[in-house]
């Protein structure tokens, strides 16, 4: 049966990027549909009625929502190529823990870095760096969180690298100065075609953030 795969997405979304990378790693052909989040399509509202959010993966007409669930689904269905999760249950649990940690921390802290100023921003920056340092510690000397090859935690986390320049400019700090090993990891990931073609240009993301700040009246 011909596989039909559609991804409803929004270009700067780090969550959408996760699914893009997973699909690319597996060499899956799919239709990318850009959503205007201020004017959501009927398809999006039908496929994700609970959250009305992107990304939505539609496989043979059936929707899978939530980016990490999509990555796990893609990994299971197309299991013959580029496995993202290890087969050992304990290592899988470790991967799920760290992906969950990224989910709980990075987006919210990063948002506070670009949305706030003064003391609130200073606090957000401090917590953001602490979080990155913990992840850097978990990475250790491994080339990837997944070990020798790109894995689940790498896919969960690397999309935020495309937002680092925007965070740095808005927060007036250098992530590389604080977490050089993490930046080395990120650059290593972007050498991979699946990542390079899934992440937008950092300047483009920064311009998008500046537009958002104007729109929300954040100076």
Partner 1 sequence: MAVVKLFGAWLSPYVFRVIWALKLKGIPYEYIEEDLSNKSPLLLQYNPIHKKVPVLVHDGKPVCESTVILRYVDEIWPQNPLLPADPYDRAVALFWIKFADDKSPIIAKLYRTEDEEQQAVVKEWLEMLEAMEEHVLIGGKKFCGGDEINMVDIAFCMIAHWLGVIEDAAGLKVFEPHKFPRVSSWIQNFKSVPIIKYNLPNTDKIVAYLKRRKEMLLTSKSN
Q: In the complex, which residues of this chain contact partner 1 (CB under 8 A)?
A: 50, 59, 62, 64-66, 69-70, 72-73, 76-77, 89-90, 92-93, 96-97, 100-101, 134
In the bound state with partner 1, the residue whose beta carbon lies nearer, of 1 and 219, is 1
Angle at 157 between CA 182 and CA 134, to 5 degrees: 50
Nearest to 182 by CA among 164, 169, 205, 204: 164
In the bound state with partner 1, the residue whose beta carbon lies nearer, of 147 and 207, is 147
In the bound state with partner 1, the residue whose beta carbon lies nearer, of 91 and 123, is 91
Sequence-ordered list of residues with C-beta below 8 angstroms from that of 154, at least 6 positions apart, any chain: 144, 145, 146, 189
Nearest to 72 by CA among 123, 118, 22, 147: 22
In the bound state with partner 1, the residue whose beta carbon lies nearer, of 82 and 212, is 82
CB of 212 to partner 1, least distance (A): 24
CB of 97 to partner 1, least distance (A): 5
CB of 100 to partner 1, least distance (A): 6
In the bound state with partner 1, the residue whose beta carbon lies nearer, of 44 and 65, is 65
CB of 78 to partner 1, least distance (A): 10
CB of 107 to partner 1, least distance (A): 13
CB of 104 to partner 1, least distance (A): 9
Pairing of strands 31-34, 56-59: unpaired
In the bound state with partner 1, the residue whose beta carbon lies nearer, of 91 and 202, is 91
């Amino acid at each position: 049966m011909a596989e039909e795969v559609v991804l409803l997405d929004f270009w700067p979304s780090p969550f959408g990027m996760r699914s893009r990378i997973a699909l690319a790693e597996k060499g899956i052909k799919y239709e990318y549909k850009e959503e205007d989040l201020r004017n959501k399509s009927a398809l999006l509202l039908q496929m994700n009625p609970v959250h009305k959010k992107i990304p939505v993966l539609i496989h043979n007409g059936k929707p899978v929502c939530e980016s990490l669930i999509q990555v796990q689904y893609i990994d299971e269905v197309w299991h013959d190529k580029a496995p993202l999760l290890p087969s050992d249950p304990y290592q899988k649990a470790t991967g799920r823990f760290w992906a969950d940690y990224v989910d709980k921390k990075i987006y919210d802290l990063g948002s506070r870095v670009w949305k706030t100023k003064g003391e609130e921003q200073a606090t957000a920056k401090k917590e953001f760096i602490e979080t990155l340092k913990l992840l850097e510690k978990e990475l250790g000397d491994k080339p990837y969180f997944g070990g020798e090859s790109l894995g689940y935690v790498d896919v969960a986390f690397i999309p935020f690298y495309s937002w680092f320049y925007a965070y740095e400019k808005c927060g007036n700090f250098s992530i590389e100065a604080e977490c050089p090993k993490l930046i080395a990891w990120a650059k290593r990931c972007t050498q991979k075609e699946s990542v390079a073609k899934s992440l937008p240009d950092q300047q483009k993301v920064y311009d998008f953030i500046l537009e958002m700040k104007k729109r929300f009246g954040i100076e």
